[in-house]
């Protein structure tokens, strides 16, 4: 073992996060640990944004309510039978696993992109929390088309929130899960309360009246695209595509005793990505009936989506607290994951300091409301870029024997760049991104074809490459 590698392993062992070695048996956790984490992370800040954005996309009742059932089921199955299955076999982080397959130089670029995209997602959740903290200060709320900070009050609140969230994330996996387990019941209760109050404010007294809130759909708001049934199904499946088919949550499920812990993700999907999205949409349905919202619509503008004021309007101070906590429970594990990505690039730095670095980037991103206001499109892009790398891990894991391919070939052959990975990702990304742009195809629609093609091409190229070098 080289001195440099010995130093890397020593740093990882001292951090207690096992970034460059399998998680030992003594550190494994039961399925209950994951329920709180997933319920907390997915009944969280993104939900306050995504629910209303479905309304701005003119979705119908059937498309939303039934589409989400199927899309979320596909996400749970992906976590259970792909991510968790592979995670408990290898017990490695995504980043170390990819390094073994791709080679250190190639995976450095992936880790940088992954970490930065995670930071942008976490930054959008800091934005969400800031809309709640700003209420007592009479802070102007960002609009759907805002890009830059709208005042010094906004800047100060975002920086303070980012500092607190980053410090919690930097304390490691155990602290992140404890924070999620403590906060998630409060947030879930708040979403239920918001939904119930909003139904009362809308005068809904029957299921038919509830259904009529969306009805047969409507024209999308200015600047938004129209969502159909398949938009809802495919988008909700791949909203966390980077986490499940993209294998990012190998870093989480490597701590699971058994692969069945993957079913715990259902708590996040059906409490968060179902109940909470709909409850948040109801809050926005109340707001768009207000004189302020109607004035925006009459001027041909989309009314702002500000989770803090919407929740405050429904349940008062409890709503402010819930939105702040909701932003935290998404930003915390996201910054933790980003820190692990940066750890793979800077292995001599402790997990604490790389996570603080990730938190600083997320805080800077949080200053710019565009990441939160364009969340539907950003999440689709984020999943499309990162998910195909998960196909490389999945195809190698399940099919390497059938194809006669050596696992972890870059590690075995001492490669810094595995060209099979590079060409497979570049071709699949380039082809389907071109199709999306050229033919105006919604990006989530081409995520699965890109994933499958990348995995298949990786196997084909690996077979040829390994035959030449053996």
Let me know if residue 456 belongs to a domain.
no
Q: Which range has the worst mean pLDDT, 88-97, 372-381, 439-448?
A: 372-381
Q: How does residue 8 score in pLDDT terms, banded at 50, 70 and 90?
A: very low
The two structure tokens encoding residue 214: 């969306």
Taking only the tens place, the pLDDT of each residue in 166-180 is 887 777 666 666 666
Structure confidence at residue 2 (pLDDT): 32
pLDDT at 10 over 50: no
103: phi then psi, degrees, rounded to nearest 5: 100, 150
d(CA 108, CA 113): 9
Structure confidence at residue 427 (pLDDT): 97
Q: How far apart are the first and last CA of the chain?
A: 24
Let me know if residue 210 belongs to a domain.
yes
Let me know if residue 134 belongs to a domain.
yes
Let me know if residue 176 belongs to a domain.
yes
Q: How does residue 7 score in pLDDT terms, banded at 50, 70 and 90?
A: very low
Assign residue 103 a region (left: φ > 0; alpha: ψ between -120 and 50; beta: otherwise): left
Let me know if residue 267 belongs to a domain.
yes
d(CA 288, CA 56): 10
Structure confidence at residue 89 (pLDDT): 92
pLDDT at 11 over 50: no
Most confident of the following: 144-153, 316-325, 450-459: 450-459
Q: Which range has the worst mean pLDDT, 28-37, 124-133, 306-315, 382-391?
A: 28-37
Structure confidence at residue 339 (pLDDT): 83
Q: Domain range for residue 59? A: 29-376
Domain total in the chain: 1
d(CA 83, CA 174): 20
Most confident of the following: 4-13, 145-154, 305-314: 305-314
pLDDT, mean of residues 374-379: 78
Q: Which range has the worst mean pLDDT, 13-27, 86-100, 371-385?
A: 13-27
pLDDT at 426 over 70: yes
Let me know if residue 325 belongs to a domain.
yes
d(CA 377, CA 254): 30
d(CA 175, CA 164): 13
Count of residues making up the chain: 470
Query: Residue 256 pairs with which residues in a beta bridge?
Result: 29
d(CA 176, CA 193): 25
Q: Which range has the worst mean pLDDT, 41-45, 124-128, 193-197, 278-282?
A: 41-45
Domain CATH for 116: 1.10.4160.10
d(CA 169, CA 37): 13
Tokens 């309007």, located at residue: 313
Structure confidence at residue 263 (pLDDT): 94
Three-state secondary structure of the chain: CCHHHHHHHHHHHHHCCCCCCCCCHHHCECHHHHHHHHHHHHCCHHHHHHHHHHHHCCCCHHHHHHHHHHHHHHHHHHHHHHHHHHHHHHCCCHHHHHHHHHCHHHHHHHHHHHHHHHHHHHHHHHHHHHHHHCHHHCCCCCCCCCCCCCCHHHHHHHHHHHHHHHHHHHCCHHHHHHHHHHHHHHHHHHHHHHHHHHHHHCCCCCHHHHHHCCCCCCCCCCCCCCCCHHHHHHHHHHCCCCCCCCCCCHHHHCCECCHHHHHHHHHHHHHHHHHHHHHHHHHHHHHCCCHHHHHHHHCCCCCCCCHHHHHHHHHCHHHHHHHHHHHHHHHHHHHHHHHHHHHHHCCCCCHHHHHHHHHHHHHHHHCCCHHHHCHHHHHHHHHHHHHHHHHHHHHHHHHHHHHCCCCCHHHHHCCCCCHHHHHHHHHHHHHHHHHHHHCCCCHHHHHHHHHHHHHHHHHHHHHHHHHHHC
Q: How does residue 56 score in pLDDT terms, banded at 50, 70 and 90?
A: confident
Let me know if residue 272 belongs to a domain.
yes
Let me know if residue 133 belongs to a domain.
yes
d(CA 307, CA 310): 5
């Amino acid at each position: 073992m080289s001195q440099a590698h010995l130093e890397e392993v020593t740093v990882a062992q001292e951090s207690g996060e096992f970034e460059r070695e399998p998680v030992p048996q003594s550190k494994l956790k039961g399925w209950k640990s994951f329920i709180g984490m997933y319920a907390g992370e997915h009944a969280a800040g993104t939900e306050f944004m995504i629910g209303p954005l479905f309304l701005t996309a003119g979705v119908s009742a059937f498309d939303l309510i039934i589409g989400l059932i199927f899309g979320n089921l596909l996400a749970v199955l992906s976590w259970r039978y792909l991510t968790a299955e592979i995670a408990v076999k290898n017990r490695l982080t995504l980043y170390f696993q990819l390094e073994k397959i791709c080679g250190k130089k190639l995976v450095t670029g992936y880790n940088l992109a992954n970490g930065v995209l995670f930071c942008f997602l976490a930054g959008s959740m800091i934005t969400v929390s800031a809309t709640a903290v700003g209420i007592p200060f009479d802070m102007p709320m960002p609009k759907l088309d805002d890009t830059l900070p709208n005042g010094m009050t906004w800047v100060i609140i975002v920086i303070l929130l980012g500092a607190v969230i980053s410090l919690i994330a930097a304390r490691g996996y155990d602290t992140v899960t404890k924070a999620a387990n403590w906060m998630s019941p409060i947030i879930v209760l708040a979403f239920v309360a918001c939904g119930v109050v909003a139904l009362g404010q809308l005068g809904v007294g029957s299921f038919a009246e509830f259904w009529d809130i969306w009805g047969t759909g409507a024209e999308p708001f200015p600047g938004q695209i129209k969502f159909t049934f398949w938009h809802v199904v495919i988008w909700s499946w791949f909203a966390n595509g980077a986490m499940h088919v993209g294998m990012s949550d190998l870093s989480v499920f490597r701590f699971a005793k058994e692969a069945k812990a993957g079913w715990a993700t259902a708590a996040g999907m059906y409490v968060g990505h179902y109940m909470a999205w709909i409850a948040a949409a109801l809050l926005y349905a109340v707001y768009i009936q207000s004189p302020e919202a109607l004035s925006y619509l009459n001027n041909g503008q989309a009314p702002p989506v500000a989770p803090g004021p919407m929740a405050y309007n429904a349940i008062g101070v409890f709503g402010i607290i819930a939105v702040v906590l909701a932003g935290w429970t998404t930003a915390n594990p996201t910054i933790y994951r980003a820190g692990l990505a940066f750890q793979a690039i800077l292995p001599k730095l402790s997990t604490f300091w790389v996570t603080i670095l990730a938190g600083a980037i997320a805080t800077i991103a949080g200053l710019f409301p565009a990441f939160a206001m364009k969340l539907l499109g950003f999440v689709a892009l984020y999943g499309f870029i990162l998910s195909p790398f998960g196909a490389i891990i999945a195809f190698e894991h399940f099919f390497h024997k059938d194809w006669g391919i050596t696992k972890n070939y870059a590690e075995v052959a001492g490669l810094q760049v595995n060209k099979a990975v590079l060409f497979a990702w570049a071709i699949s990304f380039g082809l389907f991104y071109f199709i999306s742009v050229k033919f105006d195809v919604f990006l989530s629609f081409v995520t699965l074809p890109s994933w499958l093609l990348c995995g298949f091409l990786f196997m084909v190229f690996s077979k040829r490459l390994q035959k030449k070098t053996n």
